[in-house]
Structure 1
Amino acid sequence: MSNAKPWIANYPPETAPSLEYPRVPLTHFLEQSAAEFPDRPALYFMGRRITYRELLAMSYQFANALIKRGVKKGDRVAVMLPNTPQAVICYYGTLMAGGTVVMTNPLYTERELIHQLNDSGAETIITLDLLYSRVAAVKASTPLKRLIVTSVGDFLPFFKKILYPLVQKKQGDHPQITYGGDVEPFLSVLKESATNPVRPEVDPEKDIALLQYTGGTTGLAKGVMLTHRNLVANTLQCQAVMYKFVRGRERILAALPLFHVYGMTTVMNKGISIAAEIILVPKFNAKQILKLIDKTKPTLFPGAPTMYIGLINHPDLPKYDLSSITACVSGSAPLPVEVQRRFEELTGGRLVEGYGLTEASPVTHSNPIWGKRVNGSIGLPWPDTDCRIVDPATGEELPQGEIGELAVKGPQVMLGYWNRPEDTAAVLRDGWLLTGDMGYMDAAGYFYIVDRKKDMIIAGGYNIYPREVEEVLFEHPAVQEAAVIGVPDPYRGETVKAFIVLKEGAQVSEEELENHCRKRLAAYKIPRLYEFRKELPKTMVGKVLRRQLQEEEKKRSADQDQVKTS
């Protein structure tokens, strides 16, 4: 059954089912693009352009600077930056020095930072002046020895650079940093270093390019070990699926954070591998994104559903031209069909849903952008990616159409979790990665995710998948966003609760939503409780944190119980 790979018959003729993966480090793509297109812009940042020649030279400088400061092969280097040129330079520079990049979320609290830095053993961190006090506060509790500090102003165009300190002052963001010893300014570290090429000996299959932390919503985050080969493979798989993109001609909007593996692969690594211009967006703001698309004309816009929802519902939308966008791949959360339809109407481009997880570098599936796509499906497995649906209890492969846990195998699957052999053994079996997502495959080889194993609601013995209920709520014209969770119910075990964000100016009663759902869902799936909110809690990539909503519910019911007993 899994040997039959029915999905291959549905690949567009331009996408080969199996690819060649050269034995090269990930930095090979940057060197190749700089050799072929030295004068083409690699990065666009707030009006400033940096060419491939300049980006490669600065990455070499940063690599030389790290080596001079004692960074050896395999040492972990933490990069805690928003989408700025420095993030790209430090990422490739660290790899060129033979180091392992530890991408660190700039929103991390001190507790999360201490855990990640201790777990990874990173002794060097590159961070923003605005985050300096948070990093300095944890330094004594971690292995950190070296802080390299940069500013958003470092790579601004001339006039903006002059104005930036004044803007900072006005906003009360004037960080006080005492340089010297183990705290150095990024620009001087770069300027004093040679641009000589640095090419460490790398075994792409064994050497870890990246430690990417994941699973923080379910306890302590684990470091996913991704090798050079994993990341090279996923970049080339991405190219094979997006076969219409032309080397040296594309522009990619980097609205997804590069410190998240989805943005890192589909924007940065993919972009650099085809010598695209990467339009860096440090912070997602719907109006600024509309202006930026209108001005810089990106052709590719990988994103998350919440980004597309924010744009299509923006009141100023008609003022801007979005027609340059030819393709978008949506990931990190289910894409509502209604959002897909509206976004395609507006741009004339294609928006398809894909799927991945950090442990797979991250992408394993997507709908063909220019081929047959199936609404509600995550699409077909990528080249060289094998998939099967297994019984979560026994691990037995299930027949087509039955719901079970999705397991994947391919060159993009991680080595394992850093220093966590038990956790690794729990999810990696004979090269198969158990994803923790429940889904099924249809006769044509298209896969469908019905939900996270742990998000499934069991009410009165019935399995209810939140995603299905959310899709129905999304179809109501007044609803902008919806999230569904299970809450304890003395009679049914669990019952369905929906959190709703309404479109601006829209109104709807619980009764209307109930009638809307009744026409489209079996009675046991209909939400019994509703809560209207201004916004939903989300991760940086726009994935709704159902876990947080569940925690809030637990706390609320505990408080109510306390009131009853007191």
Structure 2
Amino acid sequence: MERLWLEHYPEEIPTSISYDEKPLYAYLQDSAAKYEKKKALHFLGKELTYGELYEQVCSFASYLQGLGLEKGDRVAIMLPNTPQSVISYYGVLLAGGIVVQTNPLYMERELEYQLKDSGARMIVCLDILYPKVTNVKGKTDLEHVIVTGIKDYLPFPKNMIYPMIQKRQYKMVVHPEHGGDTHLFESIILESDGDVTPVDIDSKEDLALLQYTGGTTGYPKGVMLTHFNLVANAQMSLAWLYKSKEGEESILAILPFFHVYGMTAVMNYSISIGAKMILLPKFEAKDVLKTIHKEKPTLFPGAPTIYIALLNHPSLSKYDLSSIEACISGSAPLPAEVQEQFEQVTNGKLVEGYGLTETSPITHSNFVWGTRVGGSIGVPWPDTDSTIFRTDTLEQADVDEIGEIAVKGPQVMKGYWNRPEETANVMKDGWFLTGDLGYMDERGYFYIVDRKKDMIIAGGFNIYPREIEEVLYEHESIQEAVVAGIPDPYRGETVKAYIVLKQGSNVTEEELNEYCRKHLAAYKVPRMYEFREELPKTAVGKILRRALVDEEKKKVEEHNQKTI
């Protein structure tokens, strides 16, 4: 296979890297040795140095081993972006365990499924989630519950005020006691001696992480990522962001660490280069603007909806965002309009990247400092091969021919947890089949046209929602847009657009229809528009197209039942 993209690599980016065959936690050990007194974490005014962070990680790891944690045991972490989430993550790995990242927004049914499927013996959770965990504990393999609170790492007087805010917001205050099978994080850090028994790790074989896919179709699957998978993607990130200075960067950590993109592009990358992480436990546009203005982060990995929300905030002009030098946007397509506007506001670089949970996650990106191609996800990262397969024959497609994107590289997963058949379905002769439809141009740049399952077939035409969404985002009144195929008795499916307007803007369905007809072939023009205050999203801000499709299917079913 000819790697057309390599001729476009800037000379600063190596085409191949010599990867460290070491456990992922070794990055923290290295940074703690090199940058002991440097700030590692900033959390709402509270800061920890690299020396302090590693000391607390050792305390946590030692305590887990004291509870009986053995190599390969799974430990769930159900936390937002807090110091405890970083300490727990590296502590589990240092103790020899496997991290199971768990979304704090999960309902009991979702939590029970993930705990059962992973066989997790322990869980670290927020105090407000403790009742939820105890309700499902008896149906799972959980033996120990470790509880922490936001207030545990807040500076004075915020740590005194927060419980009152929590009581008002969540209508409860939880006070579990330290003892038996319940353990308080605060007590662990204070009482543990930090004496960790070394665990022999084979970085290429031993798992560091079970990361569950979103489960938009069927049950979520546990993606098995080894220490080497995650180390490789961190080293690729370092090579790609070659202007970043070790020990000097500060990274805004708004992408949740329980999502693979935030975990790699923010947490693991930060630790690997001795950067300071500015942690925010949830996304509030005004809080993010204030934080950038005050703390001056240099790097800001994010998602399109995050950048869109900031650009459309009425107070945007009051804040200085010029500290931001580089952003890689992931999780969803980045509209060109958003990229241009954000670069104007910050004077930094914003490029689109691409990846999947199964690939640790990043496989492609545009060059941050180099040739960028609008509408493209860029080119494969070092040591990452990519090609397009014809969906019917799995033969390699021609240049500019649409097919399924496949990737191969050191960041590709070991497989799906306890699902060999599903692993075999996506792994073909060493290639991972992504499920995304796209094409490669004559220069080796790749383009996504859509997920295979999101492609709309209307009246015999293949319609790709992303193309329509790009047109909608260029409309001056539209803040967010998503397009989906909904059931239609005549065409099979028809195109529907869901729209969130910018504050103070007004546009009619007729005006949007006229606008789309100027920019799209007639069969691609949405037949219906629905205006909403907000769109359903994942924790990282990815719009849930499937949730909208499911809504429409439910409406059709209810209508059919009424007419029977």
Q: TM-score range by the shorter chain?
A: over 0.9
Q: In structure 2, how many angstroms separate the alpha carbons of the residues matched to 1:256 and 1:383?
A: 24
Instruction: Answer yes or no: is the 8 Å Cα contact 2:436–2:451 preserved in 1.
Output: yes
Partner of 2:115: 117
**SS in structure 2 at match of 1:236:** helix
Report what 1:45 is aligned to: 43
CA contact (8 A) 2:95 2:196 kept: no
Equivalent residue, structure 2, for 1:149: 147
Aligned position for 1:167: 165
Q: Quote the residue 2:286 is aligned against.
A: 287
Q: For residues 198 and 377 of structure 2, what CA distance do their matches in structure 1 show?
A: 38
SS at match of 1:423: helix
Report if aligned partners of 2:24, 2:230 keep a CA contact under 8 Å in 1: yes
- For residues 257 and 200 of structure 1, the distance between their equivalents in structure 2, rounded to whole angstroms, comes to 28
Correspondence for 2:71:
73
Q: Which moved more, 1:198-207 or 1:272-281?
A: 198-207
State the AA in 1 paired with 2:444. G
Structure-2 residue corresponding to 1:83: 81
Residues in 2 aligned to 1:257 and 1:213: alpha-carbon distance in whole angstroms: 14
Deviation at 1:408, TM superposition (A): 0.1
Shift of 1:198: 4.9
Q: CA deviation at 1:197?
A: 5.3
- The 1:314–1:280 alpha-carbon spacing in structure 2 relative to 1, beyond 3 Å, is same
Q: Give the Cα separation in 1 of the matches to 2:188 and 2:175.
A: 19
Unaligned residue ranges in structure 2 (runs of 5+) = none
Alignment gaps of 5+ in structure 1: none
Partner of 1:17: 15
Aligned-partner Cα distance in 1 for 2:119–2:235? 30
Deviation at 1:495, TM superposition (A): 1.2
- CA positional deviation for 1:178: 4.3
Aligned-partner residue type, residue 63 of structure 1? A
> Is the 1:75–1:100 Cα contact (8 Å) retained in structure 2?
yes
1:188 aligns with 2:155: no
Q: Distance in 2 between matches of 1:188 and 1:35?
A: 26
* In 1, Cα distance between equivalents of 2:20 and 2:560: 61
> 1:27 matched to which residue of 2?
25
- Judge conservation of contact 2:213–2:223 (CA < 8 Å) in 1: yes
- Please give the secondary structure, in 2, of the residue aligned with 1:342: helix
Deviations 1:39-73 (A, max 9, x none): 00000000011000001111111110001110000
State whether residues 60 and 198 of structure 1, in contact with CA within 8 Å, keep that contact through their aligned partners in structure 2.
no
Residue aligning to 2:57: 59
Segment of structure 1 superposing worse, 8-17 or 174-183: 174-183
1:65-123 CA-partner distances (Å, limit 9, x unpaired): 00111000000011110000000000001000010000010011111111110111001
* Greater Cα offset, 520-529 or 157-166: 157-166
Cα-to-partner distance string for 1:419-446 (whole Å, 9 max, x where unaligned): 0000100001222100000000001110
- Equivalent position to 1:92, from 84, 90, 93: 90
> What are the equivalent positions in structure 2 for 1:376-455 lying under 5 Å apart?
376-455=375-454
In structure 1, the partner of 2:218 is 219
CA contact (8 A) 1:456 1:463 kept: yes
Between 415-424 and 161-170, report the one with greater CA deviation. Answer: 161-170
Work out the CA distance in 1 between the residues paired with 2:201 and 2:331. 31
Q: Quote how far apart the aligned CAs of 1:223 are.
A: 0.3
Q: Distance in 1 between matches of 2:492 and 2:96?
A: 53
Report the Cα offset of residue 395 of structure 1: 1.0
- The answer to whether 1:258 aligns with 2:253 is no
Distance in 2 between residues matched to 1:485 and 1:556, nearest whole Å: 15
Q: 1:526-558: CA deviations, max 9, x gaps?
A: 001111111111111111111110010011112
Separation of aligned partners in 2, 1:559 and 1:202? 54
Where does residue 134 of structure 1 map in the other structure? 132
- Using the TM superposition, give the Cα deviation of residue 191 of structure 1 relative to its aligned residue in structure 2, in angstroms: 1.6
Answer yes or no: is the 8 Å Cα contact 1:60–1:196 preserved in 2.
yes
What secondary structure is seen at the aligned counterpart in 2 of 1:530?
strand
Tell me the CA shift for residue 454 of structure 1.
Answer: 0.4
Letter in 2 for 1:41: K
Tell me, in whole angstroms, the C-alpha distance in 2 between the residues paired with 1:207 and 1:166. Answer: 44
- Contact kept? 2:229, 2:410, Cα under 8 Å: yes
Equivalent AA in structure 2 for residue 443 of structure 1: E
Q: Deviations over 1:348-373 (max 9, x none)?
A: 00000000000000000000001011
Percentage of pairs with the same residue: 61
- For residues 37 and 467 of structure 2, what CA distance do their matches in structure 1 show? 49
2:82–2:150 Cα contact (<8 Å) kept:
yes
Q: State the shift of 1:346 in Å.
A: 0.3
Please state whether the residue corresponding to 2:354 is helix, strand or coil.
strand
- Give the 5 Å matches for 1:476-491: 476-491=475-490
Deviation readout 1:233-287 (Å, 9 max, x if unpaired) = 0000011000000001000000000010000000000001010000001000000
**Is 2:177–2:184's contact at 8 Å kept on the other side of the alignment?**
no
Asked if 2 retains the 8 angstrom alpha-carbon contact of 1:71 and 1:97, the reply is: yes
Give SS of 1:491's match. Answer: coil
Compute the displacement of 1:199 (Å): 3.5
2:299/2:325 contact within 8 Å kept: yes
Identify the residue that residue 348 of structure 1 maps to in structure 2: 347
1:559 Cα deviation from its structure 2 partner:
1.7
> What does 1:352-371 correspond to in 2, within 5 Å?
352-371=351-370
Whole-Å separation in 2 of the counterparts to 1:167 and 1:548: 32
Corresponding residue number in structure 1 for 2:528: 529
The CA distance in 2 between the partners of 1:123 and 1:29, in whole Å, is 26
Deviations 1:150-181 (A, max 9, x none): 01011111221122223333433312424421
Structure 1-normalised TM-score? 0.98
Q: Secondary structure at the match of 2:405?
A: strand
- Change beyond 3 A, Cα 1:178–1:37: closer
Q: Distance in 1 between matches of 2:215 and 2:507?
A: 35
2:40/2:48 contact within 8 Å kept: yes
Does the 8 A contact of 2:438 with 2:449 survive in 1? yes
Aligned equivalents of 1:26, 1:89: Cα separation in 2: 13
CA contact (8 A) 1:458 1:493 kept: yes
2:487·2:552 contact (CA, 8 Å) conserved in 1?
no
Summarize the alignment of residues 222-301 of structure 1 with structure 2, pairs less than 5 Å apart: 222-301=221-300
Q: Which amino acid aligns with 1:66?
A: L
- Partner-residue secondary structure (3-state), 1:218: coil
* Number of residue pairs matched by the alignment: 563
Letter in 1 for 2:240: V
Tell me the alpha carbon deviations over residues 481-525 of structure 1, each in whole angstroms, 9 at most, x when there is no partner.
111011122222211111111111111011111111111111110
Partner of 1:324: helix, strand, or coil? Answer: coil
Residues 96 and 198 in structure 1, CA contact (< 8 A), matched pair in contact too: no
Relative to the length of structure 2, the TM-score reads 0.99
Structure 1 contact 400–440 (Cα < 8 Å) conserved? yes
In the alignment, structure 1 residue 497 sits paired with structure 2 residue 464: no
CA distance in 1, matches of 2:268, 2:179: 34
- SS state at 1:473 partner: helix
SS in 2 for 1:519: helix
After TM superposition, give the deviation of residue 215 of structure 1 in Å.
3.5
- Structure 2: distance between partners of 1:196 and 1:317: 48
C-alpha separation between the residues in 1 aligned to 2:289 and 2:20?
Answer: 38
* Aligned residue identity for 1:6: L
